[in-house]
Amino acid sequence: MEALQQFGIQMIQAIQVLSPALDGIMAFFTFLGKIEFYMIFITFLYWTVDAGLGFRVFMVLLSTDILGVALKQLLHQPRPYWVGEVKLLGGGETSYGIPSTHASDSLSVWGYLASRLKKRWLWITAAALVILISYSRLHLGVHFPHDVLAGWALGLVVLFIFLKYEKNVSAWVKSRSSNNQIGIGFAVSILFVVTGLLVNTLTASSFDPENWAHYSTEARSLTHYFTLAGAFFGALAGYVLMKSGAPFSTTGNWSLKLGRYLVGMVGMLVAMYGLDFVFSLAASDESFLGYVLRYIRYGTTTFWVMYGAPWVFLRLKLVTPPEPK
Q: Please give, one letter per residue, the 3-state secondary structure of 241-296.
A: HHHHHCCCCCCCCHHHHHHHHHHHHHHHHHHHHHHHHHHHCCCCCCCHHHHHHHHH
Q: Domains in the chain: how many in total?
A: 2
- Is it the case that residue 323 has pLDDT exceeding 70? no
Q: Which residue has the higher pLDDT, 90 or 156?
A: 156
Q: Stretch 242-249: mean pLDDT, rounded?
A: 91
311: nearest Cα among 255, 239, 232, 234: 239
Is residue 263 a part of any domain in this protein? Answer: yes
Q: Stretch 120-131: mean pLDDT, rounded?
A: 96
Q: What angle do CA 269, 273, 276 make, to 5 degrees?
A: 150
Q: What is the percent of the chain where pLDDT is above 70?
A: 98
Residues 194 and 243 in one domain: yes
Q: Which residue has the higher pLDDT, 93 or 126?
A: 126
Question: Can you tell me the distance from the alpha carbon of 123 to that of 111, in angstroms, rounded to the nearest whole number?
Answer: 8
Q: Is the peptide bond before 324 cis (omega within 30 degrees of 0)?
A: no
Helices vs. strands in the chain: H and E counts, helices first? 15, 0
The last residue of one of the domains, among 165, 195, 225, is: 165
Q: Stretch 69-87: mean pLDDT, rounded?
A: 91
- Is it the case that residue 324 has pLDDT exceeding 60? no
Q: Stretch 280-309: mean pLDDT, rounded?
A: 92
Residues 246 and 216 in one domain: yes
284 pLDDT tier (thresholds 50, 70, 90): confident
- Is it the case that residue 130 has pLDDT exceeding 60? yes
Residues 126 and 218 in one domain: no
Residues 218 and 102 in one domain: no
Residue 221 domain boundaries: 178-203+212-325
Residues 221 and 324 in one domain: yes
Is residue 62 a part of any domain in this protein? Answer: yes
Residues 159 and 75 in one domain: yes
Is residue 187 a part of any domain in this protein? Answer: yes
Give the CA dihedral 221, 295, 165, 47, nearest 10 degrees.
Answer: -120
Residues 300 and 157 in one domain: no
Residues 191 and 146 in one domain: no
What would the pLDDT profile of 304-316 be if each residue is shown by its tens digit? 999 999 999 999 9
Is residue 141 a part of any domain in this protein? Answer: yes
Q: Stretch 115-136: mean pLDDT, rounded?
A: 95
Residues 95 and 56 in one domain: yes
Q: C-alpha distances in angstroms, 268 versus 141, 232, 236? A: 32, 15, 16
- Is it the case that residue 124 has pLDDT exceeding 60? yes
Q: Stretch 105-133: mean pLDDT, rounded?
A: 96
Predicted structure pTM score: 0.93
Average pLDDT, rounded, for the chain? 92
pLDDT value at residue 321:
60
